[in-house]
């Protein structure tokens, strides 16, 4: 006899005399121990996190990236434990030609990676503080780029018409400018306008100037991506329902449209950071980026050119550090993109 209060569904299948086999819904199948198995709903973010945790590449690259970020952002604490500072010089450990005494560029228990030729600074601390500079510039530029790009893209895509045309025209103009040539001209001119003939340029000013240059060239790519996403969302039923209910434009933009494009925005951010690490190192290598006494990986490579034959480790160490940073960020960014895409084969 069927319990009248039961919510299970069953149906008799074939059989003579009305007797049949009762087919139960999967929800009615009792779990071991007699308890009914409950179905737990998961949000898209939880599903993406589950896929990310199952991705071996994401786990390895994410763990490596976490270690590098902790070491780089905690550089002052590392220096305190290590017993050296990034800008401390050791001329007594250099010969008359400025080369480190000892083997492998002066490697020892006090200086794990040796000394910088010419100035005698500890290379290990230069690398640690150089990573700190790269993280600050890259994350600062990526955050501002995404913020400006999202704002421009969502406004252009949602309102369309003249607003979209003007913003697209500005985007096209910025995309047409050559990054390296513009930077070679703009950074010295802006610095000269601010400081004139004063040789004492603030390192913080130069860092923020580099960040602003990177943001100026980076936001159009984010804006184009967001604009395309918004164009496909602005005519959807939930947006039309909110518009019909009298919701203002700010509500439609930031409460209806924006929460539905967070996944591509997150992917753009994760892939923009390694690009900015490389771009910042390139500007410093060209001697228009971060200036002394702020440690920088690109400037280390620039200084190592004169010692390439006599001390190749001086060039190899910052080059490998930049390669490792960019590789781990790219691998983790690809894994995030695959985790956020439910149709991904991975």
Number of domains comprising the chain? 1
Which pair of structure tokens corresponds to residue 269? Answer: 């951010």
Q: Say whether 18 sits in a helix, a strand or coil.
A: helix
User: Residue 235 sits in which domain range?
Assistant: 46-340
Of 58-67, 136-145, 197-206, 291-300, which range is least confident? 197-206
pLDDT for the residue numbered 125: 95
pLDDT for the residue numbered 171: 95
User: Does residue 34 fall inside a structural domain?
Assistant: no
pLDDT for the residue numbered 122: 93
User: Does residue 38 fall inside a structural domain?
Assistant: no
pLDDT for the residue numbered 33: 53
pLDDT for the residue numbered 343: 65
User: Does residue 23 fall inside a structural domain?
Assistant: no
pLDDT for the residue numbered 124: 94
**How much of the chain is helix, strand and coil, in % rounded to 5?**
70, 5, 30
Q: Name which residue leads in pLDDT, 268 or 235.
A: 268
Per the listing, tokens 């329902």 go with 241
User: Does residue 308 fall inside a structural domain?
Assistant: yes
Residue 12 has pLDDT above 50, yes or no: no
pLDDT for the residue numbered 312: 81
CATH of the domain at 188: 1.10.3720.10
CA–CA gap between residue 254 and residue 250 (Å, rounded)? 6
Strand partners, 94: 100
User: Does residue 15 fall inside a structural domain?
Assistant: no
User: Does residue 233 fall inside a structural domain?
Assistant: yes
pLDDT for the residue numbered 21: 42
User: Does residue 175 fall inside a structural domain?
Assistant: yes
pLDDT for the residue numbered 26: 46
Of 41-45, 60-64, 84-88, 155-159, which range is least confident? 41-45
Contact 59, 331 (CB under 8 A): no
Residue 14 has pLDDT above 60, yes or no: no
pLDDT for the residue numbered 225: 93
pLDDT over 90 percentage in the chain: 51
Mean pLDDT, residues 105-118: 88
Which pair of structure tokens corresponds to residue 141? Answer: 């530029």
pLDDT for the residue numbered 247: 87
What is the per-residue pLDDT across 157-210, written as a single tens digit (0 to 9) for each? 999 899 999 999 999 999 999 999 999 999 999 999 999 888 788 999 999 999
Q: Name which residue leads in pLDDT, 17 or 193.
A: 193
Q: Say whether 164 sits in a helix, a strand or coil.
A: helix
Average pLDDT in the chain: 85
Instruction: Give the side-chain half-sphere CA count within 13 A for 198.
Output: 8
User: Does residue 25 fall inside a structural domain?
Assistant: no
Q: Say whether 94 sits in a helix, a strand or coil.
A: strand
Residue 77 has pLDDT above 90, yes or no: yes
pLDDT over 70 percentage in the chain: 87
What is the per-residue pLDDT across 26-60, written as a single tens digit (0 to 9) for each? 444 455 555 555 566 677 777 778 888 888 998 99
pLDDT for the residue numbered 142: 96
Residue 90 has pLDDT above 60, yes or no: yes
Residue 154 has pLDDT above 80, yes or no: yes
Mean pLDDT, residues 205-233: 94
Contact 91, 50 (CB under 8 A): no
């Amino acid at each position: 006899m069927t319990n009248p209060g039961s919510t299970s569904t069953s149906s008799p299948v074939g059989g003579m005399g009305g007797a049949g086999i009762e087919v139960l819904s999967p929800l009615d199948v009792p779990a071991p121990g007699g308890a009914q198995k409950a179905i737990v709903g998961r949000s898209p973010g939880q599903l993406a996190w589950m896929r990310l945790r199952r991705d071996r590449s994401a786990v390895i690259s994410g763990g490596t990236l976490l270690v590098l970020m902790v070491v780089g952002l905690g550089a002052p604490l590392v220096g305190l434990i290590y017993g050296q500072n990034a800008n401390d010089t050791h001329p007594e450990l250099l010969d008359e030609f400025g080369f480190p005494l000892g083997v492998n560029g002066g490697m020892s228990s006090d200086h794990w990676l040796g000394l910088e030729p010419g100035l005698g600074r500890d290379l290990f601390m230069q690398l640690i503080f150089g990573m700190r500079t790269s993280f600050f510039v890259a994350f600062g530029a990526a955050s501002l780029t995404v913020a400006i790009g999202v704002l421009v893209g969502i406004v252009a895509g949602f309102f369309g018409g003249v607003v979209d045309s003007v913003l697209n025209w500005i985007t096209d103009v910025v995309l047409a400018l050559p990054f390296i040539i513009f930077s070679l001209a703009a950074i010295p001119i802006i610095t000269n306008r601010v400081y004139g003939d004063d040789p004492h340029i603030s390192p913080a000013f130069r860092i923020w100037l580099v960040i602003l240059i990177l943001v100026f060239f980076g936001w159009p790519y984010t804006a184009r991506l967001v604009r395309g996403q918004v164009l496909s969302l602005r005519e959807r039923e939930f947006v039309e329902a909110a518009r019909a209910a009298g919701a203002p434009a700010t509500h439609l933009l930031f409460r209806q449209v924006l929460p539905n494009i967070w996944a591509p925005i997150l992917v753009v951010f994760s892939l923009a950071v390694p690009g900015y690490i490389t771009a910042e190192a390139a500007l410093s290598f060209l001697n228009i980026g971060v200036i002394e006494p702020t440690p920088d990986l690109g400037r280390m490579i620039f200084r190592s050119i004169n010692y390439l034959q006599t001390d190749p480790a001086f060039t190899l160490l910052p080059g490998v550090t930049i390669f490792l940073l960019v590789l781990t960020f790219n691998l983790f960014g690809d894994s995030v993109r695959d985790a956020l895409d439910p149709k991904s084969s991975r």
